[in-house]
């Protein structure tokens, strides 16, 4: 049965129980009605009248009516009894001055076995603590206590000046049950309804329950207790279960509502609050299981199931100094699991210094906590509006949604402490009207989900993992399938975007996007804009704009990529390929070009075409004098360097600006970086490359992956710290066109069809040779001393 269905069944059961109670009480009233004043002799109006109440009540099955006056007695109610006054302002029962400290103003007659069908209504109870007594321990010394009452109704009763509690619904026996967490006391009170009652000037709690079930407290008011200890307005204490609190008020208490247990008892559980206003209480709403908070404490076995809706915390403060001047809070959740808070409003007093403490706190192993529809405003000098404490005893699985913060939290609107990985924050509106806020949302780790943050007046919108962002960001942890009809992102770091036909992202850090029937298999693999059962199999492999492609190998071939291809398989690592196959299975035989990142090799099955009209093939040569040589001059070799060619020199080529292919630039690094063999070939060796994993915060982990790679052997003389300038930026290096169509400086006697030789680097006619004039492109200029001809050099 689902949780909401169970709660509905529980509510129906309580409705039937109270309907049964109402009918039974009516039967009691119809059976026997007596008046207490008929039993009190004349002259006994201010003496201890306890014995007269005993006589009037007898063995029960009676309705006892009190007059509009004060009575002095400790009243013990048998089963099937109605005790009724004329109104809480008219009828009062006061504990007698000489009564022992353990006495109750009103209680059941048989505290060991309990009672049934009890109603107390329309009167006040004066506990007469002023007679100088102290609490006697256990369940003693309260104004009204129900021990093991089944079917009880307390209506329009005012309890005050109590030595312990105003109202206490508990199990049978005089001492509270402390049998350990997970134990259940015998003889619980059941089906008790306290409605329209008030309590003030008590020692411990205004309204409380212990080891009882199916209890309702509604339309009640608890205010201004005696200023000492844990003075709560309403406390649902040890072993209580299935409790409903509805439309109650509290003021000036330590806790407005406290749901709790002591360390050696079961926690109150399955408690539901429907509307409450807490005014100027120190801790408006406080949920905890003492002794189950620290990292060394055992987790609570019983602190489960709290729901609360439509709660107000108005001006929480510590002005009265409860609990050794404990810091105020609007809401504290500790040790409980499955807590749902909706429509919660906390309003501060701007004239009160909140003392650099948070307004709302989730802490001490609280789990499965949901805060939704939370309004926090006007808390002067509060450190944070909402804080989720971290550390070794942090909570877990916490959701904060639809949060509205206004001038609350000088440090943060919301703060999530260290160690959290299962916290979600969504739809936050945070305003600091003075512009003095630091962070609207701060998470100590990168693992907190953050979305929908809207901010005004904060220095930073979000701080995540120590990195501050002025504008809101979205942080989403866990695998995701977005805008996709099908698909399986199988890990926390895999995603499928805008894809169809059952794509999969099955390893860590994988993505399939804008694809169909495609699969990212290797760690760090991606598939983009692809189809046809394309598979990025190798680690860090990728497939883009392809169909039926395979990149890498399972567990190997790192950084393999396929681009714009059909039915192409790339089994090699650190390479990019493209190609096309018309039919069949993916194959490396369908590759048409390859870029090899390890060697810098480029391979292509087709034609390499230049988009320019450049027509010569050239190499870099160093000039013998270290100076640049002018374009168009013919040059010759002298050793391994060049100079301007003269009469009789063998012509190497001409200085060119139109080379389609240029070799020898050494553009990226020093030409001697890698060792070579005697023929100039680069020496390779197999090296094992180890890549260490990192955690969510970027810290290295002891785990790693390894791959064997053939890499060039580096020259020990190579110093990477030294700056390097490529040959294209150095004046002594010149581009020499060796073959093809090249522009050459020529003399005034050169004509198309001539062969030329060099004279001071300028072409002059000769009978034959490697340089032939195709056409003159610029007439001879006498001032410059040359013309320009397009020549073919072979």
CA distance 746 to 790: 10
CA distance 20 to 37: 30
Task: State the virtual CA torsion across 377, 380, 383, 389 in degrees, nearest 10.
Answer: -50
CA distance 316 to 570: 67
Cα distances from 560 to residues 394, 464, 538, 549, 580, in angstroms, run 43, 33, 7, 11, 17
Two structure tokens written together for 794 = 């072979």
CA distance 69 to 36: 11
Nearest in space to 276 (alpha carbons), one of 333, 216, 219? 219
Cα distances from 603 to residues 325, 591, 608, in angstroms, run 79, 10, 10
Please provide the distance, in angstroms rounded to a whole number, between the alpha carbons at the two ends of the chain. 91
Cα distances from 29 to residues 33, 40, 71, 84, 138, in angstroms, run 6, 21, 22, 11, 33
**Which residues partner with 343 through β-bridges?**
none
User: Residue 221 in 3-state DSSP?
Assistant: strand
Pairing between strand 232-236 and 205-209?
parallel
* Cα angle 657, 659, 660; round to 5: 140
CA distance 727 to 670: 10
Two structure tokens written together for 166 = 């105003």
Positions annotated as catalytic residues are 619
HEC per residue, 234-303: EEECCCCEEEEEEEEEEECCCEEEEEEECCCCCCCEEEEEEEEEEECCCEEEEEEECCCCCCCCCCCCCC
Pairing between strand 700-712 and 684-694?
antiparallel
Contacts of 662 (CB under 8 A, 6+ apart): 618, 619, 620, 735
Two structure tokens written together for 74 = 């400790």
Are 642 and 749 in contact by the 8 Å Cβ rule? The answer is: no
Please count the other Cβ atoms lying within 10 Å of the Cβ belonging to residue 422: 16
Nearest in space to 581 (alpha carbons), one of 566, 596, 592? 566
Are 717 and 631 in contact by the 8 Å Cβ rule? The answer is: no
Are 222 and 235 in contact by the 8 Å Cβ rule? The answer is: no
Contacts of 485 (CB under 8 A, 6+ apart): 500
CA distance 295 to 758: 91
Are 171 and 214 in contact by the 8 Å Cβ rule? The answer is: no
CA distance 463 to 201: 47
Two structure tokens written together for 179 = 């049998």
Place of tokens 């104004």: 143
**Which residues partner with 728 through β-bridges?**
none
DSSP codes, 310-369: EEEEES---TT-HHHHPPPEEEEEES-EEEEEEEEEEE--TTS---S--SEEEETT-EEE
Two structure tokens written together for 91 = 């009828």
């Amino acid at each position: 049965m689902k949780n909401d269905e169970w709660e509905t069944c529980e509510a129906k059961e309580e409705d039937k129980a109270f309907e049964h109670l109402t009918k039974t009480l009516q039967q009691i009233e119809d059976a026997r009605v007596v008046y207490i004043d008929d039993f009190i002799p004349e002259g006994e109006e201010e003496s201890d009248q306890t014995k007269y109440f005993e006589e009037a009540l007898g063995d029960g099955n009676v309705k006892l009516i009190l007059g509009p006056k004060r009575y002095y007695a400790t009243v013990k109610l048998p089963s099937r009894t109605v005790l009724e006054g004329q109104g809480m302002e008219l009828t009062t029962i006061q504990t007698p001055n000489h009564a022992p400290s353990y006495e109750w103003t009103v209680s059941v007659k048989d505290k060991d076995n309990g009672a049934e069908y009890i109603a107390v209504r329309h009167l006040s109870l004066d506990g007469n603590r002023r007679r100088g007594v102290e609490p006697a321990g256990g369940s003693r010394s309260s104004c009204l206590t129900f021990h093991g009452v089944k079917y009880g109704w307390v209506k329009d009763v005012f309890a005050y000046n109590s030595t312990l509690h105003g109202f206490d619904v508990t199990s049978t026996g005089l001492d509270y049950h402390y049998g350990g967490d997970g134990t259940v006391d015998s003889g619980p009170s059941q089906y008790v309804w306290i409605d329209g009652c008030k309590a003030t000037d008590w020692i411990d709690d205004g309204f409380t329950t212990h080891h009882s079930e199916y209890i309702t407290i509604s339309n009640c008011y608890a205010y201004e207790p005696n200023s000492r200890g844990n003075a709560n307005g309403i406390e649902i204490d040890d072993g209580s279960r299935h409790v409903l609190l509805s439309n109650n008020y509290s003021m000036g208490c330590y806790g407005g509502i406290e749901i709790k247990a002591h360390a050696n008892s079961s926690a109150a559980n399955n408690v539901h609050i429907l509307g409450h206003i807490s005014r100027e209480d120190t801790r408006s709403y406080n949920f905890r299981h003492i002794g189950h908070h620290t990292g060394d404490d055992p987790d609570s076995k019983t602190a489960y199931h709290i729901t609360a809706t439509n709660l107000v915390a108005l001006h929480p403060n510590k002005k009265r100094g409860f609990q050794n001047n404990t810091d105020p809070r609007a809401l504290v959740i500790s040790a409980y699991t499955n807590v749902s808070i909706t429509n919660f409003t906390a309003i501060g007093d701007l004239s009160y210094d909140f003392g650099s403490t948070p307004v709302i706190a989730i802490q001490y192993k609280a789990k499965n906590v949901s805060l939704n529809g939370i309004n926090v405003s006007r808390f002067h000098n509060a450190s944070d509006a909402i804080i989720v404490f971290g550390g070794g005893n942090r909570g877990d699985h916490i959701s904060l949604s639809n949060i509205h913060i206004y001038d609350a939290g000088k440090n943060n609107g919301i703060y999530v402490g260290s160690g959290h990985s299962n916290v979600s924050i969504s739809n936050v509106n945070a305003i600091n009207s003075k512009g003095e806020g630091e962070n609207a949302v701060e998470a100590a780790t990168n693992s907190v989900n953050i979305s929908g943050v809207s901010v005004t007046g904060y220095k930073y919108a979000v701080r995540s993992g120590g990195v501050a962002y002025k504008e809101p960001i979205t942080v989403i942890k866990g695998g995701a399938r977005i805008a996709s009809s099908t698909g399986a992102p199988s890990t926390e770091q895999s995603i499928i975007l805008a894809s169809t036909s059952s794509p999969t992202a099955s390893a860590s850090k994988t993505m399939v996007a804008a694809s169909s029937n495609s699969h990212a298999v290797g760690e760090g693999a991606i598939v983009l804009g692809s189809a046809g059962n394309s598979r990025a199999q190798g680690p860090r492999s990728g497939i883009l704009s392809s169909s039926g492609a395979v990149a890498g190998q399972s567990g190997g071939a790192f950084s393999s990529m396929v681009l714009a291809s059909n039915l192409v398989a790339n089994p090699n690592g650190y390479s990019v390929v493209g190609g096309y196959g018309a039919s069949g299975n993916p194959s490396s035989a369908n590759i048409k070009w390859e870029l090899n990142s390890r060697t810098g090799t480029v391979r292509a099955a087709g034609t390499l075409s230049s988009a320019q009209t450049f027509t010569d093939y050239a190499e870099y040569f160093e000039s013998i004098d270290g100076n640049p040589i002018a374009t168009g001059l013919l040059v010759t070799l002298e050793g391994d360097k060049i100079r301007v060619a003269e009469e009789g020199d063998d012509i190497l080529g001409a200085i060119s600006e139109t080379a389609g292919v240029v070799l020898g630039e050494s553009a990226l690094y020093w030409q001697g970086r890698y060792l070579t063999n005697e023929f100039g070939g680069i020496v390779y060796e197999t090296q094992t490359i180890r890549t260490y994993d990192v955690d969510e915060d970027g810290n290295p982990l002891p785990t790693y992956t390894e791959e064997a790679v053939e890499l060039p052997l580096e020259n020990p003389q190579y110093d990477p710290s030294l700056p390097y300038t490529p040959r294209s930026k150095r004046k002594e290096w010149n581009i020499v066109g060796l073959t093809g169509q090249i522009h050459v400086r020529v003399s005034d006697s050169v004509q198309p069809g001539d062969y030329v030789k060099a004279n001071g680097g300028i072409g002059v006619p000769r009978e034959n040779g490697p340089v032939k004039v195709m056409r003159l492109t610029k007439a001879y200029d006498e001032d410059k001393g040359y013309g320009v001809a397009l020549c073919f050099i072979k």
